[in-house]
Amino acid sequence: MKRIKVAYVCVHNSCRSQMAEALTKLYVADFFDAYSGGTETKPQINQDAVRIIKTLHGVDMNQTQRSKLVDELPEIDVLITMGCNVECPFIPCQFREDWGLDDPTGHPDEVFIDTQAVILEKIRSLKDRILSKEIEIV
């Protein structure tokens, strides 16, 4: 089976979408090629998100990722919007869903910890739904 190209899209591509990209690359790289992008960028990834992911998962997103525009995304199979409550641009894909996650920016570490746990659970669920053919990707 070919690896499925999944893109996580958020307005600034600095927090939730970056955590999703990192966690996908770490835990399901055998199944997904992961990307992230935003309709705008920030000069750097949210440093609280960087710290939490590095502490919990050993990945330094400052070394492996950067804030990018959706224009930099390759052709993708699956598009996940993170819940930014804005109209995302049209991005061709076979499947699209919104995860409706609140932005943890400005909140205590516990909110970042909870957010990354939900993201990881949703990534694994996405993989399971594709494998069970609940979501059809060709």
pLDDT in tens, 61-101: 999 999 999 999 999 999 999 986 666 778 899 999 999 99
In a domain, 138, yes or no: no
Q: What is the CATH number of the domain that holds 55?
A: 3.40.50.2300
What does the pLDDT read at residue 86? 63
In a domain, 106, yes or no: yes
In a domain, 136, yes or no: no
What does the pLDDT read at residue 11? 87
Q: Say how many domains are in the chain.
A: 1
Rg of the chain taking only CA atoms, in angstroms: 14
pTM higher than 0.85: yes
Exposed, middle or buried, 102 (CB in 10 Å: 0-12/13-18/19+)?
Answer: middle
In a domain, 12, yes or no: yes
In a domain, 64, yes or no: yes
What does the pLDDT read at residue 89? 74
Residues of the chain with pLDDT under 50: none
